Amino acid sequence: MASMIQLRDLLALQGRMEARQLSQSLHTPQPMIDAMLERMEAMGKAVRIQEEAEGCLSGSCKRCPEGKACLREWWALR
């Protein structure tokens, strides 16, 4: 299980990563990574970067039954 310091260090080295990538790299369950990232965001140490819906070539993201699951979300240090 990874600590918040290890999570911060990995983000510092990589620049920005998705929560799924962080989970795999640190061998930690994704719900735990999500909780740590949200806590870091509340502390002002991390920022969430969300992909814009305009990037969808077909324009079907707005009608997507997955609820915009195709849009990527990254995390980076502030």
Chain segment 9-31, per-residue pLDDT in tens:
999 999 999 999 999 999 999 99
Is 56 one of the annotated binding-site residues?
Answer: yes
- Provide the β-strand partners of residue 49: 74
pLDDT digits (tens, 9 = 90+) for 35-62: 999 999 999 999 999 877 665 666 555 6
Is 16 one of the annotated binding-site residues?
Answer: no
Residue-wise over 42-62: b if at least 16 C-beta within 10 A, else e?
eeeebeeeeeeeeeeeeeebe
How far apart, in whole angstroms, are the C-alpha atoms of residue 5 and residue 62? 37
User: Residue 59 has what pLDDT?
Assistant: 58
How far apart, in whole angstroms, are the C-alpha atoms of residue 44 and residue 37? 10
Chain centroid to CA 70? 13
User: Residue 60 has what pLDDT?
Assistant: 59
Mean pLDDT of 68-76: 80
Banded model confidence at residue 8, pLDDT cuts 50, 70, 90 = very high
- With vertex at residue 55, the alpha carbon angle to CA 70 and CA 53, rounded to the nearest 5 degrees, is 65
Domain with 46, as residue range(s), is 4-77
Looking at residue 57, which CATH number applies to its domain? 1.10.10.10
Global pTM reads 0.78
Q: How many domains does the chain have?
A: 1
